[in-house]
Amino acid sequence: MQPDSISQSRSSSAAIAKIPVEWRKALGLLAAASFALIVLTAREWGEMLHQWWNIDTYSHIILVPIIIGWLVALKFGELAQVVPRSWSPGLAIVAAGLGLWLMGRASEINLIAHAGAVGMLQGMVIAAIGPRASMVLALPIAFGVFLVPFGDEIIPPLQAITAEISIALTLWSGIPAEIDGIYIDTPAGLFIVAEACSGVKFLIAMVTLAVLVCFTRFERWSHRALFILASIVVPIVANGIRAWGTIYIAQSQGVEFAAGFDHIFYGWIFFAIVVALILAAAWRYFDREPENYGWTADGVARFALIRSMERFQSSAIVVFACLAAMVILTAITASIVAPGALG
């Protein structure tokens, strides 16, 4: 072994040695269990990765694992004050995720299968580190929900809303037009509010950002509710204005010019402007720093419910053995009710 390799090996060993023994056990259990669950649901994770990377609607999800890592890193100081204990009741959440995954595969509904694949990992985190540490990490654990690609279901109503906003603004601006569903007929041509123009990708990305901002920058629930509401309403209205802008420009500059302008400006640039405006309006109401989000270790220690829940602690070996049995049983069931689930 070369000197550099020896030095790096020693540095890695030293870094691992700094991690408390109990955390090393918990993280080892979590790593082994997560590997088993991901292998079982490899098809779903492959599908989700494909959607994150290749479909614009879900491209923002690539940032979600990074955000989760950042949220966990902010809590390192608090986690150092907590002793993780494997917790067998957490396997009930894993079982629910496995059941959801199996249901999704049997019914061939990807959304359900994907939700199950993510949910079982969230449950495994809770089972591996216990309720006390999980409460400290409640936000990053819950934020894992946004790993699931969703939103296709709301495209039709968003198309309808965008069409109604754009026709109202078109008539208001003095341009004669008629609407038939998602079709808008104007002197410059016939415009269609296609799926790509529904604004779904902006809305989903904005809601994801809004949840992050709400729980890292606001203390008051009233502020959180208002910010979430604004993060839903403003992008929908803004998208209607975007569609109207395309129609308005087409009347004087032609359809081709309007389409090109829409493609260049009204993409993520337009979305960035909308995000900046919403954040600017909320900035004065931010009442805490991101590193202060969630519960502290001392705060969680005062929860009587947490102390009651910790009575059901189990050894890591028992938890992993139970998980292994659940995975094997689910795999056997899947091979019967959904033969292609493991392919």
pLDDT higher than threshold 60 for residue 64: yes
CB-based contacts of 330: which residues, under 8 Å, 6+ apart?
Answer: 40, 98, 101, 102
- Which segment of 111-115, 126-130, 237-241, 258-262 scores lowest on mean pLDDT? 258-262
pLDDT higher than threshold 80 for residue 321: yes
Share of the chain above pLDDT 70, in %: 89
CB-based contacts of 289: which residues, under 8 Å, 6+ apart?
Answer: none
Higher pLDDT, 105 or 342: 105
Mean pLDDT of the chain, nearest integer = 87
CB-based contacts of 252: which residues, under 8 Å, 6+ apart?
Answer: none
pLDDT higher than threshold 90 for residue 259: no
- Residue 255: band (very low, low, confident or very high) from pLDDT cuts 50, 70, 90: low
Higher pLDDT, 136 or 315: 136
pLDDT of res. 198: 80
- Residue 315: band (very low, low, confident or very high) from pLDDT cuts 50, 70, 90: confident
Averaged pLDDT for residues 194-208:
85
pLDDT higher than threshold 80 for residue 4: no
Tell me the pLDDT tens digit for each residue of 154-166: 889 999 999 999 8
pLDDT of res. 248: 79
Averaged pLDDT for residues 79-90:
92
pLDDT higher than threshold 70 for residue 265: no
Task: Tell me the C-alpha distance between 103 and 340, whole Å.
Answer: 13
